[in-house]
Amino acid sequence: MSMTARAQYYVATFDTLSLAQADTYYLNYTMPMQDVGFNDGGAHFPCIYDTSWGGTWDHGFAYSNMTDSITSGYANQYAAKTAIGYNNSSNYAVAWCSQYGSAPTRMLFTPVAPDSVVGFYITNSTFAYNSMRDGDAFAKKFGGATGNDPDWFRLTVKGYWNGVLKPDTVDFYLADFRDANNANDYMIDTWTWVNLLPLGMVDSLEFELNSSDTVGGNGMNTPAYFCMDNFVSVINPINVKQVKANTFAAKMYPNPATDLLYVELADNSINTINVYDATGKLVMNETVNTKTVQLNTAVLRRGAYFIELIGKDHIATSRFIKQ
């Protein structure tokens, strides 16, 4: 079979979603307790507002261009600690995974479910970060007074297919103070990649936040927020199966790469290698005629890239960083 079709990458950057001005965010009270969410990059991001108590955000996603990385507290719930989107973009998404909300925070794919979810960039919200750093009226300072408390703040991503929860999950720690050496404690304050390839084929995702701070018995005290940008999914050509990169027994090095990236192939069926940037744009296409393919990454800008290995009836996707 001749492989001419290419996988279609979808990237939710949130930059095409309009906001009235700088330093603002999406807010919609028109249909209380109904989904007033938004679509971007082949995905639907639900958003549920409640008009009770003067108007509150029940759960889900909003998009924002807030730049306040300083102000602590609930009034600054729509800002990322980075003060800007990934790769200096204006917009990004904010997720509110409230344990008191009417439903879990979910994300749906429309109109076609992807063959795989590749991943997204994540960072802490200013609200959550400052609360962990300093403590507040509801939540503790991470590490405690001595700095030795083994605190943590974790996102768990779950995949669903046809309404059934899949067994694989992906965990990402937005803060981790569990190491015996306090010098290794951290809280995320940059855009950091979350790899979702282990989830495979999904038609929706569920996002759950947990932390070590549960004093009081009313669930998590840490503000249940995180920020997202450049969510990537992929839809393959008809009759082409998406597989994990190690199915092809390919070795890729060095990663991060500077001028050259080597791809050693142990599968004779691979005939094409494609490289996509973080927006899903095809930036490199190589025909395979040798066991070790040398890619000239010197021509690429710094950042994250997706590499696609195309065989007779399989496509494998992986990722590398260009420094």
- DSSP letters of 234-283? EEPPTT-EEEEGGGGT-EEESSSBSSEEEEE---TT--EEEEEETTS-EE
Residue 38, helix vs strand vs coil: strand
Residues of the chain short of pLDDT 50, as ranges, are 1-5, 238-247
Q: What separation in angstroms does the CA of 82 have from each of 97, 126, 127, 207, 277?
A: 20, 8, 12, 21, 21
pLDDT for the residue numbered 241: 47
Task: Please state, in angstroms and rounded to a whole number, the distance separating the CA atoms of residues 93 and 70.
Answer: 18
Q: Reduced to 3 DSSP states, what percent helix, strand and coil does the chain have, rounded to the nearest 5?
A: 10, 45, 45
Task: Please state, in angstroms and rounded to a whole number, the distance separating the CA atoms of residues 182 and 85.
Answer: 29
| Residue 224 phi, psi dihedral angles, 5° rounding | -90, 65
pTM reported for the whole predicted model: 0.80
Task: Please state, in angstroms and rounded to a whole number, the distance separating the CA atoms of residues 64 and 73.
Answer: 17
pLDDT for the residue numbered 111: 63
Residue 53, helix vs strand vs coil: helix
Q: What separation in angstroms does the CA of 215 have from each of 70, 186, 189, 220?
A: 26, 21, 25, 8
Tokens of 57: 């955000």
Closest Cα to residue 178, out of 151, 153, 154, 211? 151
Task: Please state, in angstroms and rounded to a whole number, the distance separating the CA atoms of residues 226 and 147.
Answer: 23
Residue 263's DSSP bridge partners are: 252, 293
pLDDT tens string 204-244: 999 999 999 999 888 999 999 999 999 988 776 544 444 44
Annotated domain spans of the chain: 8-235, 241-322
Task: Please state, in angstroms and rounded to a whole number, the distance separating the CA atoms of residues 53 and 56.
Answer: 7
Tokens of 122: 């994540």
The answer to whether the CB of 208 falls within 8 A of the CB of 156 is: yes
Task: Please state, in angstroms and rounded to a whole number, the distance separating the CA atoms of residues 32 and 197.
Answer: 35
What strands, in cross-sheet order, belong to the sheet with 314-322?
241-244, 314-322, 303-310, 272-277, 282-287
Tell me whether strands 38-40 and 241-244 are parallel, antiparallel or unpaired: unpaired
Architecture of domain 241-322: Sandwich (2.60)
What would the CATH number be for the domain defined by 8-235? 2.60.120.1350
The answer to whether the CB of 83 falls within 8 A of the CB of 19 is: no
Sign of CA dihedral 108, 111, 113, 115: negative
Segment (H or E) for 47: strand 47-50
pLDDT for the residue numbered 9: 79
pLDDT for the residue numbered 54: 67
The answer to whether the CB of 110 falls within 8 A of the CB of 153 is: no
Helices and strands counted in the chain (H then E): 1, 22
